[in-house]
A and B are shown apart, each in its own frame.
Chain A
Amino acid sequence: MRQELTEYDFIWSVNNLLSTAAKTAKGTPKEYQALLKRIPHFADLIDSMVGLGEPGIVFLESFAEYTDMILNAKAQGKKTCFTTFCQSPVILHAMGVVPLVLEVLTVAGTLIRKSAIGEFMDYCLEAGFTETSCSSQRGSMGAYLAGLAEKPDFVLIDTPGICDTNANSFAFAAAHFDIPFYQLNYPPTIDDDRAIEYHRKDFKHMISFLEEQTGKKLNVERLRELMLEMQRQDEMVCELQDLQRLIPNPVPGIYNLFIYAIRFTLAGLPACTRMIDVMLKKAKENAKANRAGTTSGKEEKRALFVYIDHYAANLPLFNFLDQHNISHLGGILDRYYQEDAFYKGSTSYKTETQTLDAMIDSLARQNAHLPMVKQIRGPYDSPEMWLEEIKRLAEMLNPDMTIYSGTPGCRNTWGMVKLLVNDLEKTGYPTHIINSDAFDDRVESWEATAHRLQEFLDLRGFN
């Protein structure tokens, strides 16, 4: 690894860049332009964020707040744990544990430390990890393995039974650091009595594990307070996502990324509420003016992402869609299955806070419905799994096309995506598979990815 990459703590550098970026917007236009010239590597990204107005700036501030929490955890006597993006962080916040959400931190790294994150990924290989593993963890995990961020106290994940490469990364990290490991483990079905009972027992077991690691009993009142706040956030997210059904869709595509990044790090905390609130406000303004969420305010086509987005530096996927006036209708990372969600189908979760048991059941059920945990736990064409969900979303969101983007490390979706695409095409949705790596544009450059995407648009008559 190049020496310059080892000079600063990874989390500190993310925090420093984002918090400084958020402050730039507070200067005069002249000051702002002068500043951009001094940060050529980040100028495009910062300019994109600031250009979004309040939501962009609040996102920078919110993510800076999250990384502040990480940096100050030990000083505040808090434990830290590696965890997955599809795990609800509320229980961790209630226990005073700071979640280190590796996937989200990798995205932050790809956005602002392009050259570094690749080397962090490669460092994992030096530690014995496989190159074919999912890049979404390998980025930030490499920084931790290399000692460029403070070692976590334990690992707590919810992907066994859902995604091997994800779960395996965390098991690897636990073994490497020789720290305690806990897994929430999922059966291939979601809503039958056996699965529900399994989720419940597993979640209770997890609370015992957390109590053991922190040396504290669960603070029931604190949990209730966080859950009530999360319920408010859920309601706002549902409202925001409901707006995506409008033609034109008034929700800017980048908001899908913001929801993902904030929901899985700060859910239940006021920073998350503030972030969703400003996005909702802006989307409502657009809706009122019959404006699309694109920069031009126009919507020419609508794209539903069936998996995740692409997170290369400067967010080129979002820019590509924006420049083509294509509305982004969300992806798997934005589907949570609250009872108010328009897409909920036959299964959803409800936030209950009357008793501790009700809260635990509610959180266990919520976790079972979070992205990936819900859709790809069983055969893709089983009830409530991937195919049924995408078809239902497509019926309700009216996309012109559906797009798969993922990582080569995603063994689970690559094992069935061809089947999914065939079914979607037969149903009448032109579907494109992006073959690149969403977190590592060394695998396929964004230019090549964009070329293929453009070819798809041309061939299918979207231009």
Chain B
Amino acid sequence: MDPIFNEAAIKIQNSSLLEYKKKGGRVIGYVCSHVPEEVIAAADMLPFRLRGIEIKSTAIGDSYFGPFVCSCPKALLQNAGEGRFSFLDGAIMVQACDSMRRLDECWRKAGTDFPGSLPDFFHYFAVPHKVTDYSVQFFAEEIEKLAKAIEEHFKVSITGQKLDEAIEIYNTTRDLLVQLETLRHRDSPPLTGSETMAIVLAGTAMPKSDYNKLLEATIEDLKKQRAKTHAGKPRILLAGSVVDDLTLIDAIEAEGAVVVADTVCFGARAYSGHVEKGDSRWQTLARRYLNEQFCPRMFGYSNERYELILQKFKDSKADGIVFQNIRFCDLHGSENGLFNKRLDKAGIPNTRIEREYGELADEGRVRMRIGAFLETLGRGKSAA
């Protein structure tokens, strides 16, 4: 596996990004799976999914957000305040969930207290909470509005041809990541969940054309791999709140399991579904990105998300499901509760964990819970 994947997964200002900037490339950060990266790429800029990794506290975030708010946007604000996002030429704020949507105001205010922390281009992006003909139309207009804002601010032109090229590249990425996921379904997965997550995360933090080449080569290597490194380990499907670093998966795998599939933001959500070709590119982008299976912020689609989890569980031949939610993420937390009960009735082993975001996670407690869950599967360290 190319070391750049791991570097990009654990370091915001990774060497690929710095190289891109050195060549005069421009970068737009974004905070949610509902943002169509193709629009940014079609403007010859790098879409960069913002993460709260590398922080040691949320002191800056806590100064603007109230106490009862998810630590994810606080961690993002912390990074902005500490200058880790200084490479950004722009940022897109999203009406995603209530915690994340308020990053807009908090970052703008922090921008006055921490000069230079707020990018010049700062755009608010609306995403409907349901999928109907008129909500897709609204969303298509919102995407077009975003494109125009980028064109106007950066004096660039987002042409139909450039959009088509970007769509092609991003669809290729999705195809490759689906191939990678399929490899994990083997009885002996050729790579760990942590290694897979590193590869997926790197795709959100480096130019896609370079990434696709590296990913293709990696997949070819993995296809040839026949060592039974992870055979026989308890296989876990990971679901719930956003996972954008390696610590949680590392904690699960340190207990002897291997994560073989996921439905989390940054993970499988990043590559599910194609942007289909159609008459209106805004419409086709809207149809892919207004996806009811992405996140429980899309209210009333619990059954669709449940079916997705069941399908993934079956395809990946998982032994159990770990549901996790970041504290104050009620959207995932309560849906995890619903699924937990349904799966219990269906006899599918699963557990439900509440945690803090990213590297602030209480690793010891999480490992203890995972260890106990694996024991209930008869597959824990002590069982071995």
Binding site for B on A (CB under 8 A): 127-130, 132-133, 160-161, 163-165, 167-172, 174-176, 181-183, 185, 187-189, 194, 198, 201-202, 205, 378-381, 408-419, 422
Are B98 and A161 in contact, CB atoms less than 8 angstroms apart?
A: no
Cα separation A172 to B300 with both chains bound (whole Å): 8
Name the interface residues of B321-355: CB closer than 8 Å to any CB of A: 325, 327-328, 330-331, 333-338, 340-341, 354
Taking the complex as formed, is B283 at the interface, i.e. its CB lies under 8 A from any CB of chain A? no
Which of B64, B104, B330, B336 sits near A132, CB closer than 8 Å? B330
What B residues does A417 contact at CB under 8 A? 66
Cα separation A164 to B97 with both chains bound (whole Å): 7
Supposing A187-B138, A205-B132, A416-B102 touch, asked if A172 and B338 sit within 8 A by C-beta, the answer is yes
Least Cβ–Cβ distance between A195 and chain B, in angstroms: 9
**Can you give 9 A-B contacts (C-beta < 8 A)?**
A130-B354, A133-B333, A161-B128, A164-B98, A182-B300, A411-B68, A415-B65, A415-B106, A416-B106
Supposing A185-B128, A418-B66 touch, asked if A171 and B95 sit within 8 A by C-beta, the answer is no
Q: Quick one: closest A residue to B301, CB to CB?
A: A171
Cα separation A222 to B341 with both chains bound (whole Å): 43
What B residues does A169 contact at CB under 8 A? 334
Tier of interface size on chain B: 35 or more
* Given A127-B337, A168-B330, A194-B138, 13 more pairs with CB closer than 8 A: A128-B334, A130-B330, A161-B95, A164-B98, A164-B330, A171-B299, A172-B334, A176-B338, A185-B129, A187-B138, A411-B99, A419-B105, A422-B109
Taking the complex as formed, is B70 at the interface, i.e. its CB lies under 8 A from any CB of chain A? yes
Which of B66, B68, B300, B354 sits near A181, CB closer than 8 Å? B300
Cα separation A201 to B135 with both chains bound (whole Å): 9
Interface string of B132-175 (1 = CB under 8 A from A): 10110010010000000000000000000000000000000000
What B residues does A418 contact at CB under 8 A? 63-66
Least Cβ–Cβ distance between A183 and chain B, in angstroms: 5
What B residues does A128 contact at CB under 8 A? 334, 336-338, 340-341
Least Cβ–Cβ distance between B48 and chain A, in angstroms: 22
Cα separation A381 to B107 with both chains bound (whole Å): 13
Name the interface residues of B89-110: CB closer than 8 Å to any CB of A: 95, 97-99, 101-102, 104-106, 109
Cα separation A189 to B126 with both chains bound (whole Å): 9
Q: Quick one: closest A residue to B70, CB to CB?
A: A411
What A residues does B97 contact at CB under 8 A? 164, 411
Q: Quick one: closest B residue to A204, CB to CB?
A: B134
Binding site for A on B (CB under 8 A): 63-70, 73, 95, 97-99, 101-102, 104-106, 109, 124, 126, 128-130, 132, 134-135, 138, 141, 296-297, 299-300, 302-303, 325, 327-328, 330-331, 333-338, 340-341, 354
The 10 closest A-B pairs by CB, nearest first: A128-B337, A415-B102, A414-B66, A130-B333, A160-B129, A411-B98, A412-B98, A164-B98, A181-B300, A175-B302
Are B102 and A412 in contact, CB atoms less than 8 angstroms apart?
A: yes
Supposing A128-B341, A175-B302, A411-B98 touch, asked if A187 and B128 sit within 8 A by C-beta, the answer is yes
Are B134 and A161 in contact, CB atoms less than 8 angstroms apart?
A: no
What A residues does B64 contact at CB under 8 A? 418-419
What B residues does A189 contact at CB under 8 A? 126
Supposing A198-B138, A419-B64 touch, asked if A409 and B338 sit within 8 A by C-beta, the answer is no
Are B302 and A168 in contact, CB atoms less than 8 angstroms apart?
A: no
Are B300 and A183 in contact, CB atoms less than 8 angstroms apart?
A: yes
Q: Quick one: closest B residue to A407, CB to CB?
A: B68
Are B130 and A185 in contact, CB atoms less than 8 angstroms apart?
A: yes
Cα separation A172 to B302 with both chains bound (whole Å): 8
Which of A129, A163, A416 sits near B334, CB closer than 8 Å? A129
Supposing A175-B303, A185-B135, A411-B68 touch, asked if A133 and B102 sit within 8 A by C-beta, the answer is no
Cα separation A130 to B70 with both chains bound (whole Å): 13
Which of A161, A168, A409 sits near B296, CB closer than 8 Å? A168
Are B327 and A132 in contact, CB atoms less than 8 angstroms apart?
A: yes
Cα separation A85 to B147 with both chains bound (whole Å): 37
Are B300 and A174 in contact, CB atoms less than 8 angstroms apart?
A: yes
Are B299 and A167 in contact, CB atoms less than 8 angstroms apart?
A: yes
Q: Quick one: closest B residue to A132, CB to CB?
A: B328
What A residues does B134 contact at CB under 8 A? 198, 201-202, 205
Which of A201, A379, A410 sits near B104, CB closer than 8 Å? A379
Cα separation A72 to B102 with both chains bound (whole Å): 43
What A residues does B330 contact at CB under 8 A? 130, 132-133, 164-165, 168, 409, 411
Cα separation A201 to B300 with both chains bound (whole Å): 18
Least Cβ–Cβ distance between B9 and chain A, in angstroms: 28
Interface-central residue, A163, A165, A185, A415, by most chain B CB under 10 Å: A415
Are B101 and A415 in contact, CB atoms less than 8 angstroms apart?
A: yes
Q: Quick one: closest A residue to B99, CB to CB?
A: A411
What B residues does A198 contact at CB under 8 A? 134-135, 138
Are A415 and B138 in contact, CB atoms less than 8 angstroms apart?
A: no
